[in-house]
Amino acid sequence: MLHSDNLYDFRNQLKLRNISHEVMIEDVEDEIKKLTDISLKGANIYSHSTKDVHKFDFGRFHPFQDILNYVEALAKEFPDRVQVTSIGKSHENRDIPVIKISTLAKPQTLKKPAIWIDGGIHAREWISPAVVLFMIDQLIGEYKKDPFITKLVDNLDWYISPMLNPDGYEFSRSSTDPKVRFWRKNMSPAICANTELGSNICCRGVDLNRNFDWHFGEEGSSNDSCQDIYHGRAPFSEPETGALRDFILNVKDDLKSFLTFHSYSQTVMFPFGHKARSYPEDVRDLKSTALQAAKALKSVYGTNYVVGTAADIMYPASGGSDDWAKGKMGIKYTYLFELRPEESNMNGFLFDPGQIIPTALETWEAVKLIAEHVLDMFGNMVTDMAENQGPDVVGALDKIIDSEKESLTNPEAQIEKANEKTAAEKELLEYPDYENLGDPFSIPEPDLSKAQSLLVPEVLGGEPYVADCQKLIKMCQATEKGEMCQMVSTPCHMFLRTIFF
């Protein structure tokens, strides 16, 4: 991109060197103005989750404050399954919002696997937060309407941040000057340095997706604050990346997928991106799932996405959030999506608002497929049993445990409780997947300190189920592993396994 004042000299230099050339966009600023006007008009495609109380047009790009208003309206309208919090402040004191979408786990002591989604880490990539907002609306608006969406909300916790870089985003919206519209970094204070010619130059901003603690400062990043890929002074030197790190650390044991959305080039990328041919141990599963996600995406409009690591299919990039999530946090299904348009499009950041909805619809299909893989691998068995249309498995577990507690402490009650216990066990064994649970006694004893940490009355809403199971198993093992012991230990081990393993 050249300023018009320099165009004549630049063309002459190309001619002198016999370099062929073609002008792709005559006036970039004029193109920005046209697309801005279109976005302001919108497409009148409203949220169907908050249509009555807070109209939100998904056919255009919104100011950050409108985005905040929208997610806060969701929390007010659907307090039973939506929570909004700020995980920190940006350099310019803007909130970094995270919305949690979930329903109460059944039983309340069970943890559900979780998925993280974020957008807007790079200021100029406006399509990223727009697509993420659409996903939020789908999870909320289609709940109890679409059976599969209902399953995703009931059985997963969703943590979604539509805007990780609010300062940079707002700056990129503040002018049609290409230098402003194409801003990539955050808005950290300027760093000044002397040039080789002796002059002083000052540049602000850090590339947030080079500021994570994974091969920080290596290939694909820069220590020059004037470069778009400036990595910052140190890992997590920026309040935005520090806030994300702190939040992820608090929920990482539950997170089974980390999805971050960028633009552009139409790729689904899995770790690691810092160096070519560098892969995690489960690369085959990651690649297979990514290929299936790309296929699901393509099924909507025929859009082709390339699958691979950033270093293999594009370029090395160290210090990325996805590599950190996989390499340091151990989050299983970690992917970075580069959304529409394809890489050959020289106009990619000037995204046509008319393409927001198609991009969001096809991308959502890929996300749903990944979520299904998370459920297949990590779905809570006891919760799934409880929601099954067959026997009341959780109730059966309760009956067995209550029966054995009294039998073990009061032998005279054993005969009295035998019939109730046998019926409950029969109900449990009717569950079709019971035989596939494996040997419960082969599971290592759970950490008692970890069990204690879960015994929070307001969370459990009743007596400490985990502690009861621990006590029963120890009492049983102190006597003998006979038939009675097997009957009490099996359901207890099953229950504890769903919590700790």
Burial class from Cβ neighbours inside 10 Å (0-12, 13-18, 19+) for residue 306 reads middle
The whole-angstrom separation of Cα 475 and Cα 177 is 74
Q: Three-state SS for 478?
A: helix
DSSP per residue, 342-401: ETT-TTTTS--GGGHHHHHHHHHHHHHHHHHHHHHHH--HHHHHHHSSSS-HHHHHHHHH
Active site (annotated) includes residue 338: yes
Angle at 319 between CA 315 and CA 320, to 5 degrees: 70
Residue 92 has a CB neighbour count (10 Å cut-off) of 14
Which regions of 90-242 does DSSP assign to beta strands (E)?
Answer: 95-101, 114-118, 157-161, 191-194, 200-203
The whole-angstrom separation of Cα 318 and Cα 213 is 9
Catalytic residue among 170, 338, 362, 404: 338
- Tokens 């089974």 belong to 256
The whole-angstrom separation of Cα 40 and Cα 173 is 12
Residue 167 has a CB neighbour count (10 Å cut-off) of 25
The whole-angstrom separation of Cα 245 and Cα 216 is 15
The whole-angstrom separation of Cα 320 and Cα 274 is 8
CA dihedral 209, 212, 218, 224 (to 10 degrees): 60
| Closest CA relative to residue 266, chosen from 311, 322, 305 | 305
| Closest CA relative to residue 266, chosen from 340, 335, 334, 317 | 340
The whole-angstrom separation of Cα 161 and Cα 375 is 21
What does DSSP say about strands 95-101 and 82-89: parallel, antiparallel, or unpaired? antiparallel
The whole-angstrom separation of Cα 77 and Cα 71 is 10
Cite the active site residues: 338
